[in-house]
């Protein structure tokens, strides 16, 4: 049997960064994402975010790719949000996503960062957050 421990921090936004994930539905959506991922064999350690985006800390299985995991999480959750009419307008996630590997020794720190998104975004916008990631990982700024 093969064993893996590949941790990935994944971030994805709502289409046009619309503030669909208001306080009334955000926790419900994130709970559903985690619960549905588990049914698909995707291990999400923690999921959280803010009005216009989500963060997931995922430990990939040996036959999983980041792109497939993101596709399954985003596609199913958007469908579920729309079927349950949680937003006034049709809900969609942005096509893009950001993903970085996380070393074992930093998993707890990333978990804490994700769990504290509300407090974090009281001081910094999502655009500022993404541009900080972009600078750190040499990605183009938004």
Domain extent listing, the chain: 6-133
Per-residue pLDDT at 129: 80
* pLDDT > 80? residue 142: no
Alpha-carbon Rg for the chain, nearest whole angstrom, is 15
Class of domain 6-133: alpha beta
pTM of the model: 0.91
DSSP SS3 for 93: strand
Of the pLDDT bands very low, low, confident and very high (cuts 50, 70, 90), residue 139 is confident
**Bridge partners of residue 58, in order along the sequence:** 8, 44
Predicted local confidence at residue 62, as pLDDT: 94
Indicate whether 135 pLDDT > 90. Answer: no
């Amino acid at each position: 049997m093969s064993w893996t421990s590949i941790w990935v921090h994944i971030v994805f936004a709502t289409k046009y960064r619309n503030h669909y994930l208001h306080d009334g539905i955000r926790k419900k959506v994130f709970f559903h994402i985690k619960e549905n991922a588990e049914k698909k064999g995707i291990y999400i350690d923690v999921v959280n975010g803010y009005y216009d985006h989500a963060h997931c800390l995922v430990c990939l299985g040996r036959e999983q790719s980041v792109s497939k995991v993101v596709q399954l999480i985003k596609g199913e959750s958007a469908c579920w949000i729309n079927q349950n009419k949680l937003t006034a307008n049709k809900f969609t996630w942005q096509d893009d996503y950001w993903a970085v590997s996380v070393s074992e020794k930093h998993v707890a720190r990333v978990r804490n960062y994700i769990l504290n998104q509300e407090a974090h975004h009281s001081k910094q916008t999502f655009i500022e957050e993404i541009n900080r990631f972009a600078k750190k990982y040499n990605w183009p700024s938004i």
